[in-house]
Each structure stands twice: as structure tokens, then as C-alpha cells.
Amino acid sequence: MRGKISSTRWAALWVTVAALGATVLFGPASSAQQPVDPGPPLDAREGFLRAKLAHMTLEEKVGQLFFTFVKGRHADDTSGAADNQANYGVDTPGEVVQKYHLGGVTYYDAPRAQNVANPTQLNALSNSLQEAALESGAGIPLSLTIDQETGIVARMRAPATDFPGMMALGATRSEELTDKVWTIVGQELDAVGVNWDFAPVLDTNTNPANPVIGLRSLGEDPELVADLGETAVEALQETGVMGTVKHFPGHGDTDVDSHFGLPLVDYDRDTLMNVHVNPFKRAIDAGTDAVMTAHMVVEAIDPDLPSTLSHALLTGILREELGFDGLIVTDALEMGALAPFWSQREIAVMALEAGADVLLLPSDLDEAIDGVMDAVESGRIKEKRINQSVLRILGAKYDRGLFRDPFADPAEVDQVVGTPEHLAVADQVARTATTLIRNDASLLPADVSQDVAVVGPAASADTENRLRELGVNVTRVPVTTTPTAAERSAAVAAAGNADLALVTTTNARGNAGQRQLVAEVAGTATPTVAAAISLPYDAGFVPEADAVLTTYGSRPVSMRALADVLVGSAAPGGRLPVTVHGPDGTVAFPYGHGLEY
């Protein structure tokens, strides 16, 4: 799907640099010298990469290690000049790329980077940034990266296809749907010029209180995570977009959000390897391009350093024990798990010493780069070590065709992104994932002739509108995340005047106000359905409801599917990918549970 912009120029450069390879490596031929056996001939790839490396300055090499945000929606956009000046001392995204010889740019939405407005704009941004990269320094194309995990973490939204998240896929148990989803993700990213996705997530979510993974995980069973994760990364990479499995060695049993603090896990080595590392091993064996590190301390391996800075984890386990020779990319170096404890200079150097290749999003790019440059000049880090990572980065760009043609064809955007066929797959996943957990007295499916009250936190207009399309008379009463007495009273009044009440919850497990709302609505004479529209763990905390559904997220596509399943226009097809416990800690609904109509 790459366009043909500047391909003639690149073809000429390709031949020229490949031809330089032998000269750079072995020196020019001399009739005065005796013939010397140069050893096995280099293949074209190796010759090209080493020739490219030989013509790079140390600054250009170090620049390739760093990926950061730029603010603006085109390489020449000055709308973010104030922020770019504050962070980088230049005005435009293109100038940031050129100043630092960046290896990559990470796209993000407002307010921080304001990169994503719509697919057409993103395509133009990608192409303009590539032009900026090619016109400066070593002329190396960019890795253009994004967090497109699906579900709650997706930087590119509608009109791109907006899928339910990974736990919804886990509920489907379907390798076929997983393959379709991640093929579409890759095709749409490729069309807008994104060549590297920081996804899929392969954390095994064994801790219901996990504040940072949760719905981003496929579930609690390492084999399910490994099976569908392997399918996801293979499908994504088949489209030409690089994949990244994260967050190694597994962020699923933490109770601290590493954006704000440093998690620590104290399970033994067997649990680490069999439960949390196993999906990463499977993805590595399947050929994942990259692995992203987690900022967390694994006491059984390295009680002193988080994974991102731990030689024992990144080199000892990931490189040596698991045999991974692809790209190791850090999670954002600015995060609260690292930044309070070490300077950005030291974090960057320690990550390289641990074995990382790509240093992602330092809070102070100048400090981080200066730290690496000083470490090389002082001898703390050998330039040979820098070369190893740069060759991996250049090799990944070579393998994805970026040296031949890094541009995305603008004509592909409307033909690929958010097509009716792609949207239909999103609908299919959402409906199949929706799980019927309890259905007392066969309350569901509901009759479309009933009056339905939709109440609760995030009670969605998408659910209301879809029910109306299906012929249902609806009253909707949204309330805040912690419903007040007045909000609960309004919800109860609406339910009392309806034939059926649908109460949405987003954290009944941890929010007494939401539990009270469900109890008060269920205390009316109106049959009550509780819908956990975030984590399914809520299902164990709403015993008063007559029926319970879970959607694994509140994206619009899932809220429409909730309406379809409520009235039987679609059948609930999901099975719990996690165990649901009650308030007393006993199992309320086991892993794999799911009812049918």
C-alpha cells in the first residue's frame, strides 16, 4: 500500500549505497596488494546497512535511538511552536526531526501532540515528516509509531475503524476474528503512513485490581493470551506494519500504575515464566518485530532495578534465554515509575546498558541524548554497543521497505480506512464478545415493545439510539461516576416508569455509589439488567440485578452491541476470559462462564 512518491530517487540511492558496502567494509582494491580472502560475501541487506552505518556520525547514530512526540499536524505546522520551542528549541515537527536526527516519531492526540485529526491529515503528516527526515543528516526514513491497541487505547479513532479492545477479543475465543481485527488495524495504519504499532498487549491480567492493564489484556489465562496474541502479531505484521508485544516481562499482576509509580511483583520465577512470560515467548517464536519493556521490579530476577533498566531481564532473559534478536523498545522514559528515581540522562544510559535499542519519550530529550553522548565519549558505553542497536533499527526499516519507499499513497486512505467491510467486523466482534453472565427467569432477551430506562455512569447515547432504531421506547438518565443521592433518585424514578431497567456500571467493584444505584433501581418493581461496560469483575458485585451482561468496554461499537443483545437482535456469544469473584473473595462466575439465549 505504499505510494510511489520519490521512489525513483530511492531506487538510485539503494543501488549506490549497496555498491558502497564492499568498499566500506573491505577497502578499495589495490593492484599493489596481494589478494586477501575477504571471507563469505555479504548479502545485499548486510552490505547496505553497514555502508549506511559507516557514513553516520555519532550524533546521527544516537539520534536513531530516540523516538519522541512532536506537536503539530504537518511537518511545517507552526501551531504547536510554543510547545516545540519549550521542549526542543525549534518551531515545527519537521525541524524537531532534523535537529535530533530522530529514529522515530510517536503519534498522539490532543492536547499533548495534536497529531491526529483525521486519516487524510495523518497521511499528509506522515509523508511530510518522511520528507523532512530524508532531506537532513544521514537521510534515514522515520519509524512512525502509534499506540493502536484497540479499545480504550487507540490514538486513531473514527472515521477509522474503532474496535472493541483486547479483552473483548479474549471473550470471543476466536482466532479468526483476531486475525481479521489485526489485519484491518495494520491495513488502516499503513494507509496513513504509520509503519510501527506499539501493540498488541500480551500482559496476562491475573490481578483484578490492576489499575493500568485490565481491559487492555486478552484475559487471565496465559494460553489464551498466547494463542490470540500470536495470531494478532502475525496478522498485523503481514500487512507490512511492525508489531510490538508489550509489556515485557508482563504487567498483569501489578497493583500500581507505572505511569505514576513503580510496581513491584514478588511471585516466584516459575510464575513469571509460565504465566507472564509465556505469551511473549510464543510471540517471539512467531517472529514479533519488537518487544516493549515494562517499568516494574520483578523481585525474583532483579530486586533492585525495574525491567527497563535491568540487564538480567532484558539481556539475560529476553535476549539470551528467549533468544530474541529483534528490537527492544522501552516504555516511555518519562513515566512516574522511573523519573523520580533517576535523571533522564541516567535512565537513557542504563536502558542501553540493560539491552534496550529504542529509547522512547524521555521527558527531556536534550538531557537524554547528552547523557548517551557523554557515556560514549567517556567510554562507559562503547560505540560498538550503539552500533548494535542502530543496525537493528536500520534493519527493521530495511525489512519494512522504508529505504525503498517510505511514503503512503494518499489515494489509499478513502479506499482502506473505515470501510463498511471493516466496520462490519468491528460490529461482529462487539456482538460476539458481549457475555450474558446471569439471566434469572429468562428475563432476556427483552421484548422490543417494552419501555426501557437506560441509567447509570456512561449510560450511552449509542445504546439509546440503537434501541430506538430497533423500535424500543427509551428513557436515558446518565449519572456521574459516583452517583449522588439526587442522581440515584432520578434514575430510580425513570426505572419505576419503565418495563425494564438497564443499569450501566463502570466500577461497581470499587465504587459504593454504583453498587447502591444498582440496588436501588433493582428495589423497584421493574426488572433490572446490570451491564458492566468496563471490567467484567463488576458482575460479582451486583447481586440484586435480575440479569447481568458485560461488554468489555464502552466504545460506541460495544454500546450498540449491548442494545442488540438486550433485545435479541444479536445473541450473546462471549465467555468470561477472567474469573469473577464476589465481595467475600469466593468465585461468583468462573473463567469460561457465559450463557446463551
Amino acid at 69: F
Of the pLDDT bands very low, low, confident and very high (cuts 50, 70, 90), residue 37 is low
Q: Would you give the end-to-end CA distance of the chain in angstroms?
A: 43
Note the pLDDT of residue 112.
82
For the segment 226-254, the average pLDDT, to the nearest whole number, is 98
Residue 67 pairs in a beta bridge with 104, 360
Amino acid at 371: G
Sketch the domain layout of the chain as residue ranges. Answer: 9-420, 434-589
Q: Is the pLDDT of residue 17 over 50?
A: no
Residue 253 grid coordinates = 499482576
Residue 576 grid coordinates = 468470561
Q: Which of 109, 179, 259, 427 is catalytic?
A: 259
Of the pLDDT bands very low, low, confident and very high (cuts 50, 70, 90), residue 227 is very high
Contact between residue 352 and residue 60 where contact means Cβ atoms under 8 Å apart: no
Of the pLDDT bands very low, low, confident and very high (cuts 50, 70, 90), residue 553 is very high
Q: Is the pLDDT of residue 183 over 70?
A: yes
Residues 6+ apart with CB under 8 A from 254: 207, 210, 211, 212, 213, 263, 265, 296
The pair phi, psi for residue 400, each rounded to 5°, is: -90, 10
Lowest mean pLDDT, pick from 9-18, 283-292, 537-546: 9-18
Q: Which of 83, 147, 227, 331 is catalytic?
A: 331
Q: Is 295 a catalytic residue?
A: no
pLDDT in tens, 555-570: 999 999 999 999 999 9
**With the CA atoms of 73, 76, 82 and 87 taken in that order, what torsion angle do they form, in degrees rounded to the nearest 10?**
90
Q: Is 227 a catalytic residue?
A: no
pLDDT in tens, 348-386: 999 999 999 999 999 999 999 999 999 999 999 999 999
For the segment 534-551, the average pLDDT, to the nearest whole number, is 98
Q: Is the pLDDT of residue 485 over 70?
A: yes
Q: What percent of the chain has pLDDT over 70?
A: 93
Contact between residue 446 and residue 463 where contact means Cβ atoms under 8 Å apart: no
- Closest to 160 (Cα-Cα) out of 556, 570, 551: 556
Q: Is the pLDDT of residue 13 over 50?
A: no
For the segment 524-532, the average pLDDT, to the nearest whole number, is 97
For the segment 463-480, the average pLDDT, to the nearest whole number, is 98
HSE toward the beta carbon, residue 202, CA cutoff 13 A: 34
Class of domain 9-420: alpha beta
pLDDT in tens, 110-132: 788 999 999 999 999 999 999 99
For the segment 444-451, the average pLDDT, to the nearest whole number, is 97
Q: Is the pLDDT of residue 35 over 70?
A: no
> CATH number of the domain at 434-589, out of 3.40.50.1700, 2.40.240.20, 3.30.300.30, 3.30.470.30?
3.40.50.1700
Residue 475 pairs in a beta bridge with 453
What is the distance between the alpha carbons of residues 578 and 581, in angstroms, rounded to a whole number? Answer: 10
